[in-house]
Every structure is written in structure tokens, then in C-alpha cells.
Structure 1
Amino acid sequence: MIATDPQTLIPCPYEKTCSGCQLLDIPYGYQIKKKTSELSQLLKEHGIHTPSQIDFMSAGAAYLRDRLDFSLQEGRLGLYGKNSREIVDIEVCAQLSPELQKWYTEFRKIKWPFTKGSIRLRVGPDGKRGAWLDFANIDIKALLDEQLILKSLLEHAFVEIGQRRKVPVWTGNEFKLKDPELNTWFTTWIQEVPVPLYCHIASFTQPSLKANTLIADKISTWVGQFPDARIIEFGSGIGNLTIPALATAKTVLACEIDALSLEGLEKTVLMLPSNLKDHAAKLTIYRGDFQKKILQDFSQFDGVLANPPRSGLMGFLNPLESLQPQQRPPFFIYMSCFPESMAKDMQRLQSYGYELTEIAIVDQFPQTNHYEVLSLLQRK
């Protein structure tokens, strides 16, 4: 449901101090107009020929996030203040889903024996709670030695520690850190069927389970316009777009640099429900840094599916330039939460003979300046 009433405002006690939300003073109906207008202007400035309408998809004006990244500083838990390097101590947040707010409230009761660190909390699709503690090595050692905090935390949640995502295990007299463990922390869809995605708490996912249904549906709809397509995907991650594409594609070559993400995708495909097992044979996984070099021959594919990092596609597009127009894939689906780099890539795609035929904003980040863009380009 989209709150389009121009008078809809989301109350927040930290509006004047917290930097997390920039648009709290703007009614949500006007936020929709603002973001749509900004994207339209950006594309115009880059000379992108746009469709007559930019679709706007929203799961609501607030309370969407099932993943929260925040900081610990001198006993305060929250986000940075406006024009400040000080953390604002936040007890409630209008961005959080009710389940995540409840988990965050309980987590705040912990008294930490050190002064700073980064934390991610999650609530999975089955209600499972997770915490990723990204602290300095000396603080991790102190936490393992102290024992009581970890023991209490493990009674309520699954825990990962540090950049290597190690899992603390109590041996009977001390804590040991074991290798990372894959769990189902997110969900995507094959048409009407939910598919749990295996990953780590620290893995990249979209922030909202509810908003992600809009993304999966749009990807599935667009790929479905080109049945039995051979697709190459850039930035597959844990498979959030890969899995919906498998529904109607003939084959998908999923390209990703992060090994841990690909481990999650491999397990997700292995654990597909019996009625979806046939889709597994369509998928091939390839690891490499595709912003710098791509070895695949684009003329062997009917479509491209891309969800790059903030820096955009970079060298991934180079092989298209050397192909004759009729050799280039007929369609290109591009998803990005950084419209600036997307617009630059679209300039190149337009010069290669692609035309933007559909574009949509997915408002995963209401009350902020940020948003996701989904676009479908077709070869003329």
C-alpha cells in the first residue's frame, strides 16, 4: 500500500538530530513527486530518451526495514547526528519493521565493555534473529573472554563476529570461533513461490523483505517478456534477481566476485523445493571481477541482467562495443540504488543502440533521499 496522501507525515523524536532520514518534514506524497522528478531530470541531463512515465512502487511510507546497520559509541547505540561525528542514541526508529524494532529494543539492554564498534541486526523471513558484531580484534577477544554477554546474546539470536563472519560456539568452558555458517536470512520469489536465500547476516541483501517482493515481481515480469532467453547476469550476489529470472529464462550465467555470496547462491539452488528443482539445471555460476574484465561473448546471450555496485558497470560493457548491432543482446535489465552511475552507463548503452523502454522507482528507503531504480532497455 502506498501512502500518497500529501499530508502523510511519519513522526520521529530524532528528526532534528539524527542524519538517517532527510525527508521527514516532507509529506510522503510529495516525496514520491520529488524522487520521480529528480530521476527524470537526471536522465534528461545525460541525454537519455525516457518513456512517458516513471513508475513508482512502494510498500509503504515507513516501518519496512528488516536489516539495521548502526554504531556503538561510548555506550550510545544509533546513527550519526546531523553534521556531526557523534552517534545519536536511538531507542525507536520509524524505518524498522515491528519485528526488527522489538529485536533492537531487546538488544539495547546489553552493556558493552568497550566504546565503539559497528553492528548489524536482522530478522529473517521465518522470524529468526541475527546479530553481526564488527568490532576491533582486541574488543572481540575481550568479548570472548567476558563470556556472559555472548552467552546471553546466543539465547536470543544467531551471532556472527568480525569481517570473517566467524560464529561463536560455547565448548563448555570457553568460546571458540568456527567458520561462517549459511542461513536463510532473506527471501526472493519464483513467480508466486517464495524461495529462501542462504547467506550470512553480514551478506549484502536488500533492506526490506516486503519491498523486495516488488523487485522480484518486476524482474520476473520483464524477463518473462523474453521467454527462453539466455541471460548473463552481472553482480548476482546471493541470487536475489537470479532466482526470479530462472522462472522463464532458458539459461542464466551468474557472474559475481564475492565467493561467500556465491556459496549462498549455490546452497539456495541446491535446496530449491522439489517443484522448482528443474530450474537448477538452467544456472551456471562464474566468479571474477567483471568490472575490469569480462571473458564471455555477449553475442551468445539474449539478455543482460545487471545489479552493479555504486561505481556502475565500468569495464563490463566493453565487449558490447566491439559487436555489430545485431549481435548485441536484445534486452538489458539494469537495477541500481545509485542513479548517477546508472545514468552514465545508460549513455553508453544508448550509444550501442539500446533504448530505455520501461523504468521504475522502488522506494525501499522512504523518508530518505535514496531509492532503487529498475530499468528495461531494448535494442532498437
Structure 2
Amino acid sequence: MQIKRKLNDLEGHLQAFQLSFHGNTQILSAGHEGLRDRLDFTWQEGRFGLFEKTSRNIVDITLCSQLSPELQVWLNEFRNIKWPVQKASIRLRVGPQEQRGVWLDLANIDIKTLLDEQSILRSLQEKAFVEMGQRRKVPEWTGPAYKLRDPELNVWFQTWMHDEAVNLFCHVASFTQPSLKANKLISEQIQEWLKNHSGIRVIEFGSGIGNLTFPALAVAESLTACEVDRLSLDGLQKTWETLPQNIKRKSGELKIHAGDFQKKITQDFSEFDLILANPPRSGLMGFIDSLESLQESQRPPYFLYMSCFPESMAKDLSRLKQWGYEIAEMSLLDQFPQTQHYEVLTLLQRK
């Protein structure tokens, strides 16, 4: 029943922008519960949880069927900590080898409070890898006191190339998909769609740590990964450098473009066969404005768009429709079972 509701919701968004898809939307599912390996929540005045929809009150969360068993155990232990701060944004994570991580996004004065208090951090570091603040600093015990050192890359997520798992270097605070199991389905779908296009040249907007980069690279001749976040690019670069040779030999050429790619990268899209994008909730915005000024034959033949926010996706697809693109394939990933949310992968083809 929930799949039917989500299909109807997706169809509604497409119809709102006069978009049509005459094929069958493929349903991808990794299970009906226990998928999340990452949890983002707020601590406020003794409550751990999420804000209510209609107020700023926190709904205290003790058990959640969305969490993987390992993450539920980690949450149970974490809730026993007595915090000397009034408010914090927190991310708990369980990695591919079931290693635990926690990111504490606190005000500077609260970070200092924890560093001075010492005992909470010591206890926490016995259980997990700890990152603090927007700069993802790592607390380090020096003997008499704690100090914060530079961020440290570790394997906190995993993608797939061919049938091989690829460990992604990043931070606990890095953006990743919420589920390792569901992410395997995303990787497989991308490779399935692209494997029939030999010699394909890909440009990816907002590659992040490379979650979609490496599956596409498994079947592409080349891929230009564009990203503005320096910390994400550090992880992408390290993953590429440590990629096993047996996988690297079967992969295309990776080019990394760091910085504001809208202003500094060549706008000659005719040298690419496919645009790959997984934009934020706001959608593509101005990322692809330069496509409008190109002749139709200069635009890449394919566009692969992934989104967990169908409202902005449909708006973007309507723009692409005006530039000659139509929906060729569509998959709905039930990545958030028992909720109204879902992930969509769409392959568009230029007429």
C-alpha cells in the first residue's frame, strides 16, 4: 500500500508540470524496516529526537523501526549520557564494518565546556570516533587537557563498482545516503542504465565524496567530477587513490574539478554524453543554465537525475523538457519505508 501511495505522489508531481512517462516505474526496495545506518537528531533540554511539525518541541525518540539493529543499539547507549549543554545537533553513524561514529554540532562555548569537563569525551571515545563542530575537528587527549586536531578521513560509507564494494573515505559529518543496503540498489541501477552506452563521457555536478561517481565510472569511459566542498573532495581523492587495482583497471578515467564549476569549468557540454546530478532539496537552480544557450545537437544526449525531493525534481525536469529531454527510465527507491518519503532515479534522453 505504501508503494502505491508513493507512486501516486510521484505521478502527481509529474502531472503538475505536464510531464509524462509512458514506461513502467521500477520499484527498488531493500526491505521494509531497519535500513538506516545514519541518524540525525537534536538534543534539547533532556530530549533526544526530532522537532514536531507544528512547533519547536522535540519528540523524544527511544525506538525507531527505521534504524538498523546496530544503530539502534548505538542510540540506546548514547541516550545514557548526561550532557552539560542545553542544545546540540547530533549525528550517529554505523559504518560498513559496524564501526561507530558521532558528530557533535555545538556552539563554540559548548564545545569548550565538553573539552574542559573531559570525562564525557573520554567515555564517548571509548565507544566511537568523535567529531566536533562545523569544521569536523577531532578531540585529542594530550595528557593534561583536550585539544582539537584537524578532520580525519575514515571509511564511513560504501558504494559499488561492478560487483565489488568500494569503501568511501569521508567524515562522520559528511553527506551520504542514509542506508548502506539501499545504496547498493542505487549503484546497481546507475550501472544497469549506463552499461548499454559504451564509451560514455560523464560530467557530474556536486559529486560529494563520490557515492554516484564510482558506480558511473565503472561503466563510463571518463567522468569529470565537479565539487565545491573541499572536505568532500579530500575524501573523493583518497578513495580514488586507494581503489584496488583490479577495479581501477576496469574503470574509466576520473578527472576532478575543484571549486565553483559554474564559473570556471568549460561550458562546452558537447564533449560530454551524460550529465549526472543528485542536487539538494532546492534542485539544480542555475547549475545547468548554460544548456539553454546551446544548440540541441550540442547538449549531452543523456541526463541522469537523482532526488529525494520530487517537488524540485519535477520542476527541473520541466526545464529539461523545454531543452529537448524526455523521460526514458524511472525508478522509485523505497529508501524511507513507513514514511511518505522516497528516492527517485530518472534517466532522460534528448530527443
* 1:265-304 matches, cutoff 5 A: 265-278=236-249, 282-290=253-261, 295-304=266-275
- Asked if 1:38 corresponds to 2:13, the answer is no
Of 153, 157, 169, which aligns to 1:186?
Answer: 157
Could you tell me which runs of 5 or more consecutive residues in structure 2 were left unpaired when the two chains were aligned: none
Structure 2 Cα separation of the partners of residues 207 and 302 of structure 1: 29
Displacement of 1:81 in angstroms is 3.2
Structure 2 Cα separation of the partners of residues 177 and 248 of structure 1: 41
2:307 match: 336
- Asked if 1:305 corresponds to 2:276, the answer is yes
CA contact (8 A) 2:219 2:251 kept: no
More displaced 10-residue stretch of structure 1: 153-162 or 345-354: 345-354
1:371 match: 342
- Asked if 1:207 corresponds to 2:178, the answer is yes
CA RMSD of aligned residues (A): 1.5
1:92 match: 63
1:247 match: 218
Structure 2 Cα separation of the partners of residues 279 and 167 of structure 1: 36
- Asked if 1:73 corresponds to 2:48, the answer is no
Structure 1 Cα separation of the partners of residues 309 and 262 of structure 2: 16
1:5 match: none
1:83 match: 54
Displacement of 1:74 in angstroms is 1.0
CA contact (8 A) 2:23 2:329 kept: no
Displacement of 1:83 in angstroms is 2.6
Displacement of 1:290 in angstroms is 4.6
CA deviations on 1:114-162 (whole Å, 9 max, x unpaired) are 2111110000001110000011111110100000000000011000000
Equivalent residue letter for 2:285:
M
Structure 1 Cα separation of the partners of residues 12 and 260 of structure 2: 32
Aligned length: 351
Alpha-carbon spacing, 1:82–1:301, altered in 2? closer, same or farther (3 Å): closer
TM-score (norm 2): 0.96
1:356 match: 327
- Asked if 1:131 corresponds to 2:102, the answer is yes
Displacement of 1:51 in angstroms is 2.6
- Asked if 1:264 corresponds to 2:242, the answer is no
Structure 1 Cα separation of the partners of residues 169 and 305 of structure 2: 23
1:56 match: 27
Alpha-carbon spacing, 1:117–1:222, altered in 2? closer, same or farther (3 Å): same
CA contact (8 A) 1:269 1:280 kept: no
CA contact (8 A) 1:294 1:316 kept: no
Displacement of 1:245 in angstroms is 0.7
Alpha-carbon spacing, 1:236–1:136, altered in 2? closer, same or farther (3 Å): same
CA deviations on 1:239-280 (whole Å, 9 max, x unpaired) are 000000111111000011111111100000011012123367
- Asked if 1:107 corresponds to 2:78, the answer is yes
CA deviations on 1:16-69 (whole Å, 9 max, x unpaired) are xxxxxxxxxxxxxx1110110111121122111213322221112221100000
Identity %: 63
Displacement of 1:87 in angstroms is 1.4
Structure 2 Cα separation of the partners of residues 247 and 295 of structure 1: 24
Structure 1 Cα separation of the partners of residues 77 and 265 of structure 2: 47
Equivalent residue letter for 2:272:
F
Equivalent residue letter for 1:332:
F
Structure 2 Cα separation of the partners of residues 292 and 51 of structure 1: 37
More displaced 10-residue stretch of structure 1: 150-159 or 281-290: 281-290
Could you tell me which runs of 5 or more consecutive residues in structure 1 were left unpaired when the two chains were aligned: 1-29
- Asked if 1:149 corresponds to 2:120, the answer is yes
Structure 2 Cα separation of the partners of residues 369 and 131 of structure 1: 27
Displacement of 1:292 in angstroms is 7.1
TM-score (norm 1): 0.89
Q: Segments of 4+ in structure 1 off by > 4 A?
A: 290-294
Displacement of 1:370 in angstroms is 1.5
CA contact (8 A) 1:62 1:366 kept: yes
Alpha-carbon spacing, 1:293–1:49, altered in 2? closer, same or farther (3 Å): farther
